[in-house]
Amino acid sequence: MLDIDPMLLLISAVVFLMLLTILNKILFKPLSYHMQIRDEEIQSQLKILKNNDQKVELIKKEANDMLFEAKMKSKSIRDVAIEKANKKANKLISSAKADENSRYEVFLSTLEVQMQKLHYSLKDERENDLKQINQKVTSI
């Protein structure tokens, strides 16, 4: 029926096992070794990336702190400048008010003098008018 030669079967099995051994030594082990090295490199690169991420976060935090500090300094400088400007403006306003008050006092005193002159002038005119009226009445 089937003509199976046990010797040929045994030789085929030995050749197959030898082929597996040779392929394992020549192909599979070096390939496995290089794949393992590549995995280790990838893991080391991932560790480096994680470390870099931590460094980046630290640098971001430092930058934000510096930015906050700069904003606070600029705010304090601005506040000091505003305070100085307000003091200067208040001094100018108070000196302008004092100047205006002195002018107003001069105006009031001048007005008072003019009112007295006018009052005396009107009084004199009234007396003159009364004298003239009396003269006319007596002359009638």
Find how far residue 6's CA is from the centre of its chain.
Answer: 90
Q: What is the pLDDT of residue 1?
A: 55
Helix/strand/coil (H, E, C) string of the chain? CCCCCHHHHHHHHHHHHHHHHHHHHHHHHHHHHHHHHHHHHHHHHHHHHHHHHHHHHHHHHHHHHHHHHHHHHHHHHHHHHHHHHHHHHHHHHHHHHHHHHHHHHHHHHHHHHHHHHHHHHHHHHHHHHHHHHHHHHHHC
pLDDT at residue 132 tops 60: yes
pLDDT in tens, 72-123: 999 999 999 999 999 999 999 999 999 999 999 999 999 999 999 999 999 9
pLDDT tens column, 14-73? 999 999 999 989 988 889 999 999 999 999 999 999 999 999 999 999 999 999 999 999
Region of 5 on the Ramachandran plot (φ > 0 left; ψ -120 to 50 alpha; else beta): beta
